Amino acid sequence: DAGVTQSPTHLIKTRGQQVTLRCSPKSGHDTVSWYQQALGQGPQFIFQYYEEEERQRGNFPDRFSGHQFPNYSSELNVNALLLGDSALYLCASSPAQNYGYTFGSGTRLTVV
Amino acid sequence: AQKITQTQPGMFVQEKEAVTLDCTYDTSDPSYGLFWYKQPSSGEMIFLIYQGSYDQQNATEGRYSLNFQKARKSANLVISASQLGDSAMYFCAMRELHGSGNTGKLIFGQGTTLQVKP
């Protein structure tokens, strides 16, 4: 049974560009959350998607947006990239009404 | 606001010995969940152990146990018989409930780097 799959694993972008990160949840999970983890820090919650809608959002600007598809997979989009957006982006899936979060290995984004 | 505090940036332990990683939390919500995750250099967050706020007994999972002291708002992780493969970053996290039927977000601490010496 596959866990959470994230793509790509690594990405280098130039300041001002746009990026799309992808996440396929664990089988049976319908809720997807995205986290940003700067080097040496704990992950920070970006937003959560359930039933194709954004249900919760952390303290991130509108440059960060997302989408959830009918098959529960999700995308994270970041526009107008800043150097400070360089981080590990983690996707976590969970079944509704259950604390069983499963994390992917993340996408390491470098903005130059 | 809910907050997780991990005061040990780095810890060393000798192989086969036990080690305790500290975690304190702050919340006004009577219902919450506490987690510990291990993050090796590969980046994936690996779930270790969970403690619910109403659980009467401390959680245990193999070599991992959680020393839950509700009045002190602490949830320390104890790793017994440390192994070289335990070297990693360890995060304490709290689940913030949101709405009905929603999983809620996780609030993480800053993490503790554990190094196991042979």
Residue A100's pLDDT band (cuts 50, 70, 90): confident
Q: Which of B48, B105, B112 to mutate to test the interface with A (most CBs of A within 10 A)?
A: B105
CB contact under 8 Å between B43 and A42, yes or no, is no
Cα separation, B71 vs B88, whole angstroms = 29
Cβ contacts of B49 within 8 Å, gap of 6 or more: B35, B36, B59, B60, B61, B64, B65, B66, B77
CB contact under 8 Å between B37 and A50, yes or no, is no
Query: Could you tell me what percent of chain B has a pLDDT over 90?
Result: 78
Q: Is the pLDDT of residue B115 over 90?
A: yes
* Chain A nearest-CA residue for B44: A105
Cα separation, B19 vs B88, whole angstroms = 13
What values do phi and psi take at A84, rounded to 5? Answer: -70, -10
CB contact under 8 Å between B103 and A98, yes or no, is yes
pLDDT (0 to 100) of residue A65? 97
What are A's interface residues with B at a Cβ cutoff of 8 A? 31, 33, 35, 40-45, 48, 50, 55-56, 58, 88, 90, 92, 94-99, 101-106, 108
Cα separation, A28 vs A17, whole angstroms = 34
How confident is the model over B8-64, as pLDDT tens digits? 999 999 999 999 999 999 998 888 899 999 999 988 999 999 999 988 899 999 999
How confident is the model over A6-61, as pLDDT tens digits? 999 999 999 999 999 999 999 989 999 999 999 999 999 999 999 999 988 999 99
Q: Is the pLDDT of residue B93 over 90?
A: yes
